[in-house]
A = this chain, B = another copy of it.
Amino acid sequence: MINVGVVGYGTIGKRVADAVMLQDDMKLAGIVAHSYNFKIMAASLKGIRIFSLGNRELLEKNGIKVEGDFDSLLDSADIIVDATPGGLGKENKEKYYIKKDVKAVFQGGEKADVGESSFVAQVNYDDALNKRYVRVVSCNTTGLSRTINALDRAFGVVNVNATLIRRAADPGESRKGPINALVPTLELPSHHGPDVKTVIPGIEIFTTAIVASTTLMHIHTLSVEVRKEVEREDVLKVLRKAPRIRIVSKEERINSTAEIIEFARDLGRGRGDMPEVCIWKEGIGVNGRSIFLIQAVHQESIVVPENIDAIRAMSGVPFESSFKKTNESLRIE
């Protein structure tokens, strides 16, 4: 049984905590409550063990049972999933995890050197085997890596050009903008291209990113040059077979990110999540050695199965045992 603690209980942390509870070989040791809010209230109602961070009084005043402090969570966990805001993970590693001799999974908001490897399960699981510190890459990098890896294994990728139309905020964030503008990222390439190289070394990739006024998902358009001429049908077949990738279609009336999320809600997925990369069937095109496609990435949930697999890889569990178990427990196709 792997005892997992979650530090940072926001968009990713709360989902990873729920996902850990669904695993038959893991136990959720608890979460750290940085402040009091509805997320902590909901965690408490679910029976999750809550640890304080200098705020025990505030939590208890609001009816939250406090199991102990941050230190005692570190003592009772074999591995920490650190889902704190970007940069804090590295600080936590140096101040706490190394001293307490506890393993830790970090998120894509950290720089690559926080971990011994950058992780996307279906691409490079074995690089994380028995490691102490591993970084699960960001939602966009995970989405790009899954798709590019599938095409690379099938056809050999020469280079990739991608435009990322990014969601501006997560659904629960009412203070972030913009509400009516498109905001280009004015450092080129955007950090996503270089980040994909931490997962698929040596790949040629250039990325551009634009923030759009939506909370639902990111959309990527990809232009991928491969080694040999391909047929559209072969590309579709490869993508259909690739794990954690879902082909969606206007035949099912899925015309936008709104319908993808509505579909996830209708499937009864927790929080209406869609951890699979969704690629539109009608958006796949081929011209000689070039493949074009449009995919949607659910920023809130795509890295959740990756975190679960990272925990198992770092605990020495082989890929085959982990990947299938994670998919089944999270009902991922």
The reply to whether A262 and B172 contact each other, CB–CB distance below 8 Å, is yes
The reply to whether B270 and A271 contact each other, CB–CB distance below 8 Å, is no
Residues of chain B lying within 8 A (CB to CB) of residue A259: 38, 172, 174
Query: Which residues between 201 and 228 of chain A lie within 8 Å of chain B, taking CB atoms?
Result: 213
Residues of chain B lying within 8 A (CB to CB) of residue A180: 179-180
The reply to whether B174 and A252 contact each other, CB–CB distance below 8 Å, is no
> Is residue A88 within 8 Å, beta carbon to beta carbon, of the partner chain?
no
Q: Considering the complex, give the chain B residue whose CB is closest to the CB of A35.
A: B253
> Is residue A255 within 8 Å, beta carbon to beta carbon, of the partner chain?
yes
Query: Which residues between 225 and 276 of chain A lie within 8 Å of chain B, taking CB atoms?
Result: 251-259, 261-263, 265-268, 270-272
The reply to whether B254 and A38 contact each other, CB–CB distance below 8 Å, is yes
The answer, among B179, B262, B271, for a CB contact under 8 Å with A38, is B262
> Is residue A173 within 8 Å, beta carbon to beta carbon, of the partner chain?
yes
The reply to whether B174 and A37 contact each other, CB–CB distance below 8 Å, is no
The reply to whether B42 and A266 contact each other, CB–CB distance below 8 Å, is yes
With an 8 Å Cβ cutoff, the count of chain A residues facing the other chain is 38
> Is residue A100 within 8 Å, beta carbon to beta carbon, of the partner chain?
no
Residues of chain B lying within 8 A (CB to CB) of residue A213: 179
Residues of chain B lying within 8 A (CB to CB) of residue A268: 42, 46, 270
> Is residue A86 within 8 Å, beta carbon to beta carbon, of the partner chain?
no
Residues of chain B lying within 8 A (CB to CB) of residue A272: 265, 271-272
> Is residue A182 within 8 Å, beta carbon to beta carbon, of the partner chain?
no
Q: A256 vs B42: C-alpha distance in the bound complex, in angstroms?
A: 17
> Is residue A191 within 8 Å, beta carbon to beta carbon, of the partner chain?
no
Q: Considering the complex, give the chain B residue whose CB is closest to the CB of A271.
A: B265
Residues of chain B lying within 8 A (CB to CB) of residue A36: 251-252
Q: Considering the complex, give the chain B residue whose CB is closest to the CB of A9.
A: B266
Q: A173 vs B14: C-alpha distance in the bound complex, in angstroms?
A: 28
The reply to whether A256 and B39 contact each other, CB–CB distance below 8 Å, is no
Q: How far is the CB of A331 from chain B (nearest CB, A)?
A: 10
The reply to whether A171 and B271 contact each other, CB–CB distance below 8 Å, is no
Query: Which residues between 129 and 156 of chain A lie within 8 Å of chain B, taking CB atoms?
Result: none
Known contacts being A268-B46, A272-B265, is A172 close to B258, with CB within 8 Å?
yes
Q: How far is the CB of A55 from chain B (nearest CB, A)?
A: 14
Interface of A toward B, CB cutoff 8 Å = 14, 35-39, 41-43, 45-46, 62, 171-174, 179-180, 213, 251-259, 261-263, 265-268, 270-272
Can you report 12 A-B residue pairs in the complex whose CB atoms are below 8 A from each other?
Answer: A35-B253, A36-B251, A38-B253, A38-B266, A41-B252, A41-B263, A42-B266, A42-B267, A62-B251, A172-B261, A172-B262, A265-B272
Closest 4 CB pairs of A and B: A172-B262, A42-B266, A174-B256, A37-B253
